[in-house]
Amino acid sequence: MATRILLLEDVDDLGQKGQIVTVKSGYAFNFLIPKKHALIADANAVRRQARLQEERRLKAVEDRKASDEMAAQLNGMTFSTEVKVDPEGHMYGSVSNLDIIHLIKLQTGIQLEKRAIGLKHPIKQTGVYDLVLRLKEGVEATVHLKVLAVGAENQ
């Protein structure tokens, strides 16, 4: 059975603050409502919808400005990391989203969310990679990542 709810916050893969959406009852009553992410879309909730949508619009403008500034700073930057490799050139371990976020924070001071890095799988080979960062409000930035073997000359 489906339940109509009003979102009080942005919920990934569901909707934005102020939207009325239909979800399964279990998701609504076991997660969204107890965590204060949503409430049942009754007459009172519908009256609140306009105020929530205006708050969301103002936050979107603010987030877009911050994301544009971040993208301008990050776009085209090159980051390098060294990894251990065996004699045949195979990496021990891999370079994950969290490793990349940590590397960016160390070199620029910018803290990104894990989902901002567009890697489907961790990097398991040395080389140069172009990474698309997906920032808030749909803003994208492209950075370059050099994965080098320990002791290799930086190119």
Residues 16 and 39 in one domain: yes
Q: CA 60 to CA 110: how far, in whole Å?
A: 19
Residues 79 and 31 in one domain: no
CB half-sphere exposure, 39, CA atoms < 13 A: 12
Task: Say if CB 144 and CB 77 are below 8 A apart.
Answer: yes
How much is the CA Rg of the chain, to the nearest whole Å?
21
Residues 136 and 83 in one domain: yes
Average pLDDT, the chain: 90
Average pLDDT, stretch 99-128? Answer: 92
CATH number at residue 21: 3.40.5.10
Could you tell me if residue 17 is inside a domain? Answer: yes
Residues 54 and 105 in one domain: no
- Strand pairing of 78-83 and 140-149? parallel
Q: What is the pTM of this model?
A: 0.73
pLDDT of residue 155: 46
**SS3 (DSSP) at 106:** helix
DSSP string, 107-143: HH-PPPPGGGB--SS-B-S-EEEEEEEE-GGG-EEEE
Q: CA 22 to CA 40: how far, in whole Å?
A: 10
Q: What is the pLDDT of residues 25-58, one digit of tens each?
A: 999 999 999 999 999 988 888 888 888 888 889 9
Confidence of residue 152 (pLDDT cuts 50, 70, 90): low
Who has greater pLDDT, 54 or 154?
54
CA angle 151, 152, 155 (to 5 degrees): 140
Range in 9-13, 79-83, 123-127, 150-154 with the lowest mean pLDDT: 150-154
- Structural domain that includes position 136: 75-149
